[in-house]
Amino acid sequence: MRVSTLAPILSATSLASARVIGLSAPAILTPNSTFTLTLLTQPYFQPVSDIAAVWGFQTPTQANPRGAPYTLGHFTNSSYLGPTKSNTLKNVTIEAVVPAELLEGKDQLLSVAVMSTYPPYAGPWTQAWNVTVHVGPGQNNSDLMSSTEVGWDESAICYA
């Protein structure tokens, strides 16, 4: 009985599976413009349900040049991901707004946290990545900052 209940779950792993492994954004962000926040993806051995992305901006300081640990900062915004933006080997793109309040001429740390659920029992997992960008005129999509180094993660995955 137990085996036949699990069978449909196991066969789902033969479908294309991918997960988010990083972040990419224009190296220059111009206040009050829109930009493409890209979630980089990679094949994964099992399907992952990405639920939502939330991002924010903070000014690097001498004490925290890579941002205050476990924070996203200010001007947070979020986007639902869901089935259409999960398990895709194409990068996931989000149209985001550069806050009009960001000071030109300064660097900002742009962080994104992605909450996903992982098999087999939908264990929630939040992972965050960040890039340092410059604020000023001249934003374009040919010069990007990317990171695949996990900034922090919080997992509640339970295999019991």
Ligand X SMILES: *[C@@H]1O[C@H](CO)[C@@H](O)[C@H](O)[C@H]1NC(C)=O
Q: Which spans of this chain sit near ligand X (rule: CB under 6 A)? A: 24, 27-28, 32, 38, 40, 66-69, 71, 75, 77, 90-91, 95-97, 99-100, 111, 128, 130, 138, 140, 142-144, 146-147, 149, 151-152
Residue 140 identity: N
Q: Which is nearer to ligand X, 122 or 144 (CB)?
A: 144
> Which residues on adjacent β-strands are paired with residue 24?
38, 146
Distance CA 147, CA 150 (A): 8
136: left (phi over 0), alpha (psi -120 to 50) or beta: left
By beta carbon distance, the residue nearest ligand X is 67
Cα distance between the two ends of the chain: 19
Shortest distance (Å) from residue 87 CB to ligand X: 14
**Residue 136: CB minimum distance to ligand X, A:** 9
- Residue nearer to ligand X on the CB measure, 3 or 95: 95
Q: Which is nearer to ligand X, 60 or 123 (CB)?
A: 60
Closest CA to 26 of 113, 118, 133, 100: 133
Q: Least Å distance between CB 132 and ligand X? A: 9
